[in-house]
Amino acid sequence: MTLKTALFALSAITLTGLAQAERLVTIDGSITEIVYALGAEDRLVGVDTTSIYPEAATELPDVGYMRTLSAEGILSLAPERIITTEDAGPPDTLEQLIAAGVQIDILENEPTLDGLTYKIRATGTALGLSDAGAELADQVEDEVHSAQQQLAERVGELNVMFVMDGGSRGFQVAGIGTLANGALQIAGFNNVFADIRGYKPLTPEAAIEANPDAILVFHSQNDLATLAANPALRLTAAAENGHIYSVDDIDLLTFGPRLGWSLQQLAERMADAS
């Protein structure tokens, strides 16, 4: 049995235990948002650096970035339970936390609506709030469906490129197996780079060949005019038609309980692209 398999087995055990631990650490911004949405934020004693919403979460002790965790820093908060996703690591740190007697719930983090509602229900179960978790999951599902309808009516089905602006390192384009690709799918768009996996450097030639109708950009410090003039983007139909959109401020890639709101904001932002 691999460590990952073992950790998921442990997760299943703790979820069925319904232990209502009072000292809770959440590692993943979406999990932190869910805890707040369920009204269980009084149990939180620490969060990771991806937990930036609501603002109150940023005032809690920070245990570091979810992929490079330190057991010592987390254990200094004396947590009774940790709820995280499969993106957390490294494995050695998780092993140390388990050995120290901390209950860890490791949830799958599939970037789909079903994946999100599972994550909400599982978090509710881990907190002993199964009914509230189910109610929140149903509410989020309704909100996402409503936003999807708005996107279909106001924007339509587009060929879209989702890029991460790496500044001096250039653009990285999102392929399958990424949160960005999941966001495109749930929005009803076609990812023009669905033939690659993960993130890959974007060349001007590849951008021209893909020729997207619209471009979504995150992690960018540049304004839209600067982005449109960038050699890697400027010859695409999206740049020529002014259909480049920054999405950093709508938390489209968090895949938390505000996903419906994020998609609604995207529909309003992209209404001119149809």
pLDDT tens-digit profile, the chain (274 residues) = 344 444 544 444 455 444 455 899 999 999 999 999 999 999 999 999 999 999 999 999 999 999 999 999 999 999 999 999 999 999 999 999 999 999 999 999 999 999 999 999 999 999 999 999 999 999 999 999 999 999 999 999 999 999 999 888 899 999 999 999 999 999 999 999 999 999 999 999 999 999 999 999 999 998 999 999 999 999 999 999 999 999 999 999 999 999 999 999 999 999 987 6
| Domain span at 23 | 3-128
Residue where the block lists tokens 């109708």: 213
DSSP-derived letter for residue 61 is P
- Residue 201, beta-bridge partner list: 172
How big is the CA angle at 48 (ends 222 and 127), to the nearest 5 degrees? 130
Q: Are residues 123 and 161 in the same domain?
A: no
**DSSP letter assigned to residue 58:** G
d(CA 32, CA 35): 5
Q: Are residues 161 and 97 in the same domain?
A: no
177 and 92 fall within a common domain: no
What is residue 7's predicted lDDT score, i.e. its pLDDT?
A: 54
Structural domain contains residue 58: yes
Task: Tell me, yes or no, whether 113 and 170 share the same domain.
Answer: no
pLDDT for the residue 172 = 96
**3-state class (DSSP) for residue 200:** strand
Per-residue b/e over 69-99, b at no fewer than 16 CB within 10 Å? Answer: bebeebbebebbbbbbbeebbeeebbebbbe
62 belongs to a structural domain = yes
* Judgement on whether residues 18 and 104 belong to the same structural domain of the protein: yes
pLDDT at res. 75? 97
Omega before residue 79 within 30° of 0, cis: no
- Cα distances from 11 to residues 20, 99, 112, 113, 162, in angstroms, run 15, 14, 21, 21, 33
CATH number at residue 187: 3.40.50.1980
How many structural domains does the chain have? 2
- Residue where one domain finishes, among candidates 128, 145, 172: 128
Evaluate whether residue 144 is within a structural domain.
Answer: no
For residue 1, the model assigns a pLDDT of: 37
- The pTM of the full predicted model, rounded to 2 decimals, is 0.90
